Structure 1
Amino acid sequence: MTQHPLSVVLAGGGTAGHISPLLAIADALRAERPDTRITVVGTASGMETRLVPAAGYELATIDRVPMPRRPSGDLVKLPVRLVRAVQQAGAILDQSAADVVVGVGGYVSTPVYLAARRRSIPVIVHEANARPGLANRVGARFAAVTGVAFAQTQLPGAVHVGMPMRREISGLDRSAARAAARQALGLAAETPTLVVTGGSSGAASINRAVEAALPALAAAGIQTLHITGRGKSLTDSAGQRLAAPGYTQVEYVDGMETAYAGADLLLARAGAGTVCEISAVGLPAVLVPLPHGNGEQALNAESLVAAGGALTVADSLFTADWISGRLIPLLADPAALDAMSKASASLGIRDADRRMAAFILETSGRSKA
C-alpha cells in the first residue's frame, strides 16, 4: 500500500512570538521531508495572515476565542464560541487528513488541540515562555511531546529543546558578520555600538529614555541604532525626524540577524524570542521586561541574567540616568562585554527547530525514509 505524504497541521498566531517559532519548525520539517503537506491554522485578525503566506505556507483560519481571565460578557459567550471553533478546527484537520498536530500556543491552539484529541490525532506542543499560557497548559495534558524553550518551564513531561528560530539567526557568526552588518546598517566600523529595539510594535518607555540619553551616548563616543517600531518614529520639536550625532533611527530592520551582528550591546524587552536568539548568537544585552501581563518576560530573562549574559532593569527604573550610570560604562568595558557574550552563548541552543521536526517525524512513524 502506498503511504500518503505526511500531513502536519501547525496551530498558532496572533503575535510574532508565536508565528516565528511556528515557521521555523515548518521550515525544518520541510527541509527534512520536502513532500510534507503543511497547513497552518490561525485567525483572520493576527499577523499570520501576512507572515504565513509570505513564508510559502497554506493558512486556514478559525474564529478567535478569547479566554477571559475574569467574569465578563465574553465569559458567558465562551462555551458557544469554543464549540464553534473546535468544529472549524476539526473540519480543517479532516480536510488536510492530518497525521500530527503541532501547537505553539495562543488563542487558536486550544480549539485545534481539542479537535485533534477527538480524532485521536497525536499532538505536539511547543511552549516559548518560561510561564506557560493557558492553551499549552491544556494541550500538554495529552500531548505526545511537549517541548519548551526554557528549562524551568513547568508543563507535564516537558522536554527542554530551546526556541525554534530562523537559520539566519541560529547559524549567525557575529564576529565574521560584523563588518558587513555595520556597513549595511550605515554604522561606523569600529565605534562602540548600541542597538535598541522594542520589538515590531516598539516600546514607548524605552524610546523615551533613549531619546533623553542621546547627548550622553554621543559624548561617550557610542553610536546608537534605534529600531523604534512601526509607526513609532521619534520627532523633534519642529516635527522633523529626530537626529543626533552618532544616532541612526529606523522603524524596523528586515532581518534581525543583521542588527545582532552589528551590535556590541542590545537594549530590548525580554520577549522569549529575543532572549533565546541573543543566547544563540552570544550577544550581551540589557533587558527591560514588559511591566504588564503576568510577569512572564522577567521570568524569561532569569536564567540568562543568572549566568551573567544580560542585565535586567525594571521598566519604571529605566531612565536616561540609568543609561548614563550603568549602560554607558558597560559599553566602555570590552572585557565585561566579552564575558557577557561567552556567558550568553553558554546557554544558547541553535537546533530547536530540527529537534521539533524530529519529534514530529518520530510521532508520525515517518522518522525513517
Structure 2
Amino acid sequence: MSKTETIVFTGGGTAGHVVVNLALMPEFIEEGYDIHYIGSYEGIERELIEGMNGVTYHGIATGKLRRYMSLENMKDPFRVFKGLLQARKLLKKLKPKIVFSKGGFVSVPVVMASRLTGVPSIIHESDYTPGLANKIASNFAKHVLTTFPETDNHLPEKKAVNIGAIVRNELFEGDPDKAAQFTGLSKDQPTLLVMGGSAGAQSINQAVREALPQLLKHYQVIHLCGKGKYDDQVKQPGYVQYEYVTDELKDLLALSDLVVSRAGANSIFEFLALRKPMLLIPLSKQASRGDQILNAESFKKRGYADLLEDESVKAPTLIEAVNQLYSQKEQYHENMTSYQPKQTKEDVINMIIRTMK
C-alpha cells in the first residue's frame, strides 16, 4: 500500500473518545497508510496519541459544547471557528482519503472541515444515545456507526449503520503473571478491579475505601482511582491503587474476576469481550446527559452486568452488590458467550476502506 494514501483520525476530550482510534490505527499503519491525528492542544488525546509510532499528531483550537450556562459559552464559538479554519487548512495540506471520528468536542470542526474539503468522514458513536458533538457532526458525515442497535433511532436513517463495539486486540493478550508481578498480588485469590474512568469517581473511591475491611476478607482489590485521587493514607494488604494505567490494563483485567466501573460504552464492551462480570455505577443525570444510565440498563437487561445507582453508592450497598455479582459469576459468563467482538473490528476497517475516495 502506498504511503501517499492518508487517513485522518480525530476524537478526544476523554479516554473513551480515543480508545477506538487506538484499536484501529495500528491496523492501517501495518498496511502502509500515512496516519495523522487531529486533536486538541492539551487534551488527553494528545497524551495518548503523541509519540505513537506511525502517527503524526496535530493540535487545533477547540471549544467545549456545554449544555449549561457559562461565560465560556460566549468564547467557544470563536474557538470552534478557529479550529474549523485550522482543520480545513490541515485537510487541504494532508489530502486524506477519509476522516474517521470517535467524537468529543474536538472532532466537530474536523468533521465539518471534511465536508468543506470534499473528504468523506465516518463517525463512530459508542453510547446508547448520541452525544451532542456527534449529533452536530453527523450532519456533515457520510456514515455514523453505532454500537447499540437502539442508537439508530436517534440518527438520520440513511446514515446510521449498526456495527457494534470495537475492541483493542491487545486486551486479549493480558497476562495475569505480569499483573501479579506489577501489583504484588496473588493469582490464586478472587480479584476485584475498580475503575472510575480517567478522571476518577469520588463517590466510588470513597465507598471502596470505606468498604475495604469487608471486601478484603474475600477479594484482592485493584483500585484505579483517577488522576489526583490517590490516597497514600490507605494502605492495606491485598489492596493496591493507581491513579491511571495504560499498557498494564490488559494484564490487570486478565488477573481480575470482577469489575466495578462507570458505564462508558467503550469500557463496558471491553469487559464484555473479556467475559468479565461487571457492577456498573453510571454517572447520574445530575453529572451527565444520562447516557451511561442507558448503557448500564441495556447491559443489565441482556444479563451482562448488574447496576448500582450513583446516588446509592455507599460501603454497605457496594459490598452487597459485589458479593451478589461474584456469587452469580458463572451465569454472567454464560450470558456473555454469544458476543463475538473481533468481527466488528474487521467490519469497521472494511467500511473505512470502501468509503475512501
TM-score (norm 1): 0.87
Query: What is the identity, as a one-letter code, of the residue corresponding to 1:243?
Result: K
User: Which residue number in structure 2 is paired with residue 363 of structure 1?
Assistant: 355
> For residues 9-58 of structure 1, what are the alpha-carbon distances to aligned partners after superposition, in whole Å with 9 as ceiling and x for unaligned?
11212221111112222122223x22x11111111020122221232211
Kindly report which structure 2 residues correspond to 1:1-369, keeping only aligned pairs within 5 A, or say none: 5-31=4-30, 33-34=31-32, 36-56=33-53, 57-70=55-68, 72-153=70-151, 154-156=154-156, 157-169=159-171, 171-172=172-173, 177-178=175-176, 181-219=179-217, 221-236=218-233, 242-253=234-245, 254-291=247-284, 292-331=287-326, 333=327, 336-364=328-356
Deviation larger for 275-284 or 353-362: 353-362
Tell me if structure 2 keeps the 8 A contact 1:288–1:313.
yes
Tell me if structure 2 keeps the 8 A contact 1:53–1:59.
yes
Deviation larger for 52-61 or 261-270: 52-61
> For residues 60-116 of structure 1, what are the alpha-carbon distances to aligned partners after superposition, in whole Å with 9 as ceiling and x for unaligned?
121112224356544444544333222111100011012211111111211112211
- Counterpart of 1:249 in 2: which secondary structure? strand
Query: What is the identity, as a one-letter code, of the residue corresponding to 1:359?
Result: M
Q: Could you tell me how far 1:190 is from its partner in structure 2?
A: 2.0
Counterpart-to-counterpart distance in 2, 1:162 and 1:55: 26
- Counterpart of 1:54 in 2: which secondary structure? coil
Deviation larger for 101-110 or 340-349: 340-349
**Percent of matched pairs sharing the same residue:** 33
Q: Matched residue pairs, number? A: 349
Tell me if structure 1 keeps the 8 A contact 2:37–2:57.
yes
| Larger relative contact order, structure 1 or 2 (CA cutoff 8 Å, min sep 6) | 1
Counterpart-to-counterpart distance in 2, 1:300 and 1:252: 23
Name structure 2 gaps, 5 residues minimum. none
- Counterpart of 1:23 in 2: which secondary structure? helix
After superposition, the CA RMSD in angstroms is: 2.3
Tell me if structure 1 keeps the 8 A contact 2:39–2:45.
yes
Query: What is the identity, as a one-letter code, of the residue corresponding to 1:40?
Result: Y
Counterpart-to-counterpart distance in 1, 2:318 and 2:238: 16
Tell me if structure 1 keeps the 8 A contact 2:223–2:241.
yes
Name structure 1 gaps, 5 residues minimum. 237-241
User: Which residue number in structure 2 is paired with residue 239 of structure 1?
Assistant: none
Q: Which has the larger radius of gyration?
A: 1
**Structure 1 residues 80 and 264, CA gap change in structure 2 (3 angstroms):** closer
